[in-house]
Amino acid sequence: MRFYRKNFILIIMCLLAVALSSCGNNVDSENNGGRLHDWAAEYYGSGLAGLTLGLVNDHELSHWSVVFLDNITDNLNVQFANLTERDSEYILKLFYDYEEIPFKVDGGDIWLESYVFTLNSMSSMVIPINLKEDLHFENSHFLTVAVLTAPNVHAVDLDMMSNSYGVCMTFELTNRNGTRQANAKPTAQESMAFLELPFQGLMLNLDFDAKDDNQVLFPPKEIRAKSDETVKLAYRAGNYENTDDVLFIVLVDWQPQIINGNPFVHITNKPGYISYGVIEITIPSEKGKYEITGFVDYSPFALRNENTAWGNETCYRFTLVVE
């Protein structure tokens, strides 16, 4: 199968159509009440449907994805709405400066790396979260919030190829008592090649033929490997305007992969061209099925504003079968 799309980001607040859903488990009525919160109803009233995501403190709305805090331990509220026609299960993941971090939900005592929940069709909820006090917060930092659909379903079983399986967005957390300034930007690495292809975003696949031919292939719906092996994947990422770098994270079974000693891949971007390279992922030790997913952020270390407050695009999802 071949893919010819150039995927422009056009919708504010990551209103993405969801193509994967789980069985229709209901969220407890205490959590969502089977209704839309006022903030979610505004999106639905505009005629837009899909998944909506926001992040606010306890006192004020966010503007262009900038959230002001007095302390890093202040309450944060993830606003999420399922404006699709299906009840679905979701998994919440957080990344601070693009590294996965634990968090607490709704004042709980347990630090979580993932939070799985269900939400009815045409319902919304607010998920209160708290971060650890040992995170550096002298100025602005970036919190990526990812809510991904159907964590216990596998693409190969659905016989489906899709990159619309959730919503992901990077917010700027700013110290109200400090300076709205990001840390020193790390140096982006050069990819193996720049290809002139009509594609924008992130694609992971097994196509290692790096050439300009107007084709970007889908990954297979499944790849097979032995326990504790490493598997090579080709990536094609970028082709964004008005930025000189992009960053992407690869998840296996919803866990971020360490690639070349880093929890993300940070590469240069060249408008009009897609960056091509090869990465290796480590295969889990236990036999079974695992989803391979990922997302890309353009201008990852730029302060959020009207030009950078956009959703992060997800790659096409496929299944790893460990034999």
Contacts of 192 (CB under 8 A, 6+ apart): 210, 276, 277, 278
Q: How much is the mean pLDDT over the chain?
A: 88
Q: In the prediction, which pLDDT does 214 show? A: 79
Q: How far apart are CA 129 and CA 75, in angstroms?
A: 6
Task: Single out the residue of 5, 12, 56 nearest to residue 307, CA to CA.
Answer: 12
Q: In the prediction, which pLDDT does 62 show? A: 87
Please tell me the total count of domains within the chain.
2
Are residues 159 and 12 part of one domain?
A: yes
| Average pLDDT of the residues in 242-248 | 96
Are residues 82 and 215 part of one domain?
A: no
Is 95 among the domain residues? Answer: yes
- For 65-94, the pLDDT digits (tens) are 999 999 999 999 999 999 999 999 999 999
Q: In the prediction, which pLDDT does 239 show? A: 96
Q: In the prediction, which pLDDT does 204 show? A: 98
Is 255 among the domain residues? Answer: yes
Task: Single out the residue of 192, 195, 217 nearest to residue 206, CA to CA.
Answer: 217
Find the domain containing 247 and state its range.
Answer: 193-322
Are residues 174 and 92 part of one domain?
A: yes
Are residues 175 and 135 part of one domain?
A: yes
Q: In the prediction, which pLDDT does 10 show? A: 33
Asked whether residue 173 carries a pLDDT value surpassing 70, the answer given is: yes
CA dist 196 to 202, 266, 273, Å? Answer: 15, 20, 5
Higher pLDDT: 11 or 30? It is: 30
Are residues 293 and 213 part of one domain?
A: yes
Are residues 162 and 100 part of one domain?
A: yes
Are residues 201 and 170 part of one domain?
A: no
| Average pLDDT of the residues in 133-156 | 95
Which CATH number covers residue 310? 2.60.40.10
Q: In the prediction, which pLDDT does 25 show? A: 31
Bridge partners of residue 116, in order along the sequence: 91
> Any idea what DSSP says for residue 189?
B
Predicted confidence band of residue 38 (pLDDT cuts 50, 70, 90)? confident
Higher pLDDT: 72 or 19? It is: 72
Listed residues 182, 216, 242: the one ending a domain: 182
Are residues 168 and 30 part of one domain?
A: yes
Predicted confidence band of residue 20 (pLDDT cuts 50, 70, 90)? very low
Phi-psi region of 285 (alpha: psi -120 to 50; beta: other; left: phi over 0): alpha
Listed residues 160, 182, 204: the one ending a domain: 182
Asked whether residue 232 carries a pLDDT value surpassing 80, the answer given is: yes
Listed residues 148, 182, 216: the one ending a domain: 182
